[in-house]
Structure 1
Amino acid sequence: MSSSNRTGSIPLTFTLTGIPGLLKIFPGLLMSSYWMALPLCCLYLLMLLGNCTLLWMIKSDHSLHTPMYYFLSMLAMADLGLSLSTMPTMLAIFWFKSTSLCFEACIVQMYFIHSFSAIESGVLVAMAFDRFVAICYPLCYGSVLTSSLITKVGGVIFLRGVCVVLPVAVLIKKMPFCSSRVLSHSFCLHQDMLRLVCGDVKVNSLYGLTAVIFTKGLDSLVILLSYMMIIRAILNIVSQEARAKVFSTCISHLTAILIFYIPLIGLSIIHRFGKHLPPLTHTLLADAYLLVPPVLNPLVYSWKTKQIRRRILTLLCWRWTQQRA
Structure 2
Amino acid sequence: MKKSLNIGVVYGGWSSEREVSIRSGKNVLKALKEKGYNSRGIDITRDNIKTIVCNNNFDTVFLLTHGRGGEDGTIQGLFESLGINYTGSDVTSSALCMDKILTKYFFSGLYLPTPPYKIVSASPPPEEEYFFPSVIKPRREGSSVGVSILSNRHELQEYLHNNIHLSKEFLLEQYIRGREFTCGIIGTGQRATALPVLEIKPKNTFYDYEAKYTEGKTEFIVPAKISDSLTTEIKELSLKAYRAAGCRDFGRVDSIVSADGTIFLLEINTLPGMTNLSDLPMEARAAGMSYQDLVEKILLSSLERI
TM category (shorter chain) comes to under 0.3
Q: Which structure's residues are more often helix, by fraction?
A: 1
Q: Highest relative contact order (Cα 8 Å, sep 6+), 1 or 2? A: 1
Larger radius of gyration: 1
Compare the two structures and name the one with the higher strand fraction: 2
Q: Please give the TM-score of this superposition, normalised by the length of structure 1.
A: 0.24
